[in-house]
Homo-oligomer: A and B are copies of this chain.
Amino acid sequence: MTEPDQWGTPEGQAMIELLWDPPPPPRRGPRQRLTLGQVVDAGMAVAARSVDELSMRKVAQELGVGTMSLYTYVPGRDELFELMVDRAWGMRKFPERDLPWRAQAEFHAHEAWRMYREHPWLISSNLWRMPLGPHVLDVQEDLYRAVLLTGLDAVTVVRSAGLVESHVFGAARAKITDTSVAARTGVTQDDYYAARAGFWGTYFSEERFPSMLTLWNAGGFDAENPDGDWEFGLALILDGIERLADGVRG
């Protein structure tokens, strides 16, 4: 009942094997000029330069190799991307296990934030699913372990951990798209509000957007601490989980 070839589609099975158990170098035939790791690294290098420049031709060029040679290491572009994602997750640090659960969850959240900032392509091309790779699951496992320390029931632990990860992703997505838009249009952070003012002067009407105007005048959109937004949400979420845990314990 747990036969491996029953798992999903054949391509899915091949992807899992590539993630968990990369094939050894072949016995016959010419030596491989590259390794799977080099291909994945080259993909990450290309994606780091510009998100949407990630293409098989560019990766091959990065490695000084014919385009089609990549297909000896990787079944296709999507699979290469999944390997890149798992590798990025593999660079995350883990919290000390003797810390309280909240400090460990905060550590994981900050590591996730750092990961998304260092590898923005994790967000910009998210139409693919999160791979079931070993490094992804290692991080998930450790976050579950930390949240289990709360003593909450299983369903709540799963939901709480998911909420933390999902919140960091959402906040990172907002941040990344903002900065990437700024990079594309060439407007600096200082010009940003002036630009919005210009837009508002043309189409903004006080009758239509009174609340935004109120918030604007009260400084609601002045981000003095750029990380304050997502830390606010993280603290609010962790407060909520803590309260649930206290309700269980006491």
> Interface residue tally of chain A, by bracket?
35 or more
Contact (Cβ within 8 A) B8 A209: no
The contact of A129 among B177, B186, B199, B212, by CB within 8 Å, is B177
Whether a CB of chain B sits under 8 angstroms from the CB of A153 is yes
Counting chain B CB atoms within 10 Å of each CB, the highest count among A170, A221, A222, A243 belongs to A170
Give the complex CA separation of A177 and B129 in angstroms.
6
Whether a CB of chain B sits under 8 angstroms from the CB of A174 is yes
Interface string of A141-165 (1 = CB under 8 A from B): 1101100100001111111001100
The contact of A170 among B127, B169, B199, by CB within 8 Å, is B169
Whether a CB of chain B sits under 8 angstroms from the CB of A9 is yes
Contact (Cβ within 8 A) B236 A163: yes
Contact (Cβ within 8 A) B4 A201: yes
Whether a CB of chain B sits under 8 angstroms from the CB of A240 is yes
